[in-house]
Amino acid sequence: MLNNLRLGAKFNLLLITAFLISIVISGIALSAIVNRNAEEQVVSKALILIQTMNSVRNYTSTQVNPQLAARLETESEFLPQTVPGYSAREVFENLRTNRDYADFFYKEATLNPTNLRDKADSFESDLIQSFRNNLSTKELTGFRSFPGGDLFYIARPITIGKESCLRCHSTPEAAPKSMIASYGRDNGFGWKLNEVVGAQIISVPSQEIINNSRQSLILVMLVVCSIFAITILIINLLLKQAVIKPLKSMAQVAHDVSTGKMDSEFQQTSHDEIGVLANAFNRMKLSLVMAMEMLNKPQ
């Protein structure tokens, strides 16, 4: 089939084949790069959120709690606003009203929490145990399955770094009476200084990452395809001007010479391969003219 095609069609077919192969290879490579980039963007946003929650925790611990600590001993109802983890959770839930963060979820998963809403599930318990087993690990990321779809998570350990934290979590006797009245004596005790007791976990549906990467990939592939299309167009124009047109001219001159029009000349306008071919045809025509003259001489 290729032998029956014109030179321009053959060249275009080769270009399109090379184009399609390049698009497939580029698509695979770009997909991996874009997916990684989308994941890094989500991780970056999650890290900012964790740092923000840590700031809220620190503010609650150093400024709110001292102001309300005395009331915890006298009031019958515990004030959860004095707990850093509670403040961070409430601030994050308020943040989720912003559309940009509506799909993010925050939890301070704890093995033995005072408030059972912070109780770690089996997956979260494994993360916490990983932090306990390797204290040098400061961050874990990955995907976990949920009935509603996979979640991408980033987790950091919660370590008891201050003696003040043990006031509420060492023994029931040392804890504020209002806390005991609200949550009982069974949960949230026995913590130790420098012990990993939980993990800060921010999750986002993996579909968010997929959508981001898909949009970026489509945009990049459109740009790549446009560049390839323009490149093919330019190559075709150059090919027509530098190759096809001179060859057609030589073919016409060759046809004229074959019909006896010896005054036709092969135009040598360049010194490339086509110019060399034109020069060779001119020499061949000259040899043909000389041979015909010799034949036409009377014997």
Q: What is the pLDDT of residues 157-190, one digit of tens each?
A: 999 888 877 878 888 888 888 888 888 888 889 8
Residue with tokens 């990467």: 213
Number of other CB atoms surrounding residue 114 within 10 Å: 23
Using the 8-state DSSP alphabet, how is residue 61 labeled? I
CB 57 within 8 A of CB 231: no
Residues in Cβ contact with 266 at an 8 Å cutoff, skipping those fewer than 6 apart: 250, 253, 254, 278, 279, 281, 282, 285
Whole-number Å distance between alpha carbons of 254 and 250: 6
* Residue 276 confidence (pLDDT): 75
pLDDT averaged per 10 residues in sequence order, the chain, 299 residues? 66 81 82 78 83 90 79 70 87 89 89 90 94 92 82 90 80 83 86 92 79 77 84 82 76 74 68 74 75 69
* Residue 298 confidence (pLDDT): 64
Residues in Cβ contact with 15 at an 8 Å cutoff, skipping those fewer than 6 apart: 232, 235
- Which CATH topology does 18-215 take? Beta-Lactamase (3.30.450)
> Residue 35 — φ and ψ, nearest 5°?
-60, -40
Q: What is the pLDDT of residues 275-285, one digit of tens each?
A: 777 777 777 77
* Residue 200 confidence (pLDDT): 93
* Residue 4 confidence (pLDDT): 62
What is the number of alpha carbons within 13 Å of residue 271 lying toward its C-beta?
0
Residues in Cβ contact with 78 at an 8 Å cutoff, skipping those fewer than 6 apart: 72, 176, 178, 179, 181, 182, 183
Number of other CB atoms surrounding residue 159 within 10 Å: 16
- Helix (H/G/I), strand (E/B), else coil: 148: coil
Residue with tokens 């990983």: 130
pTM beyond cutoff 0.75: no
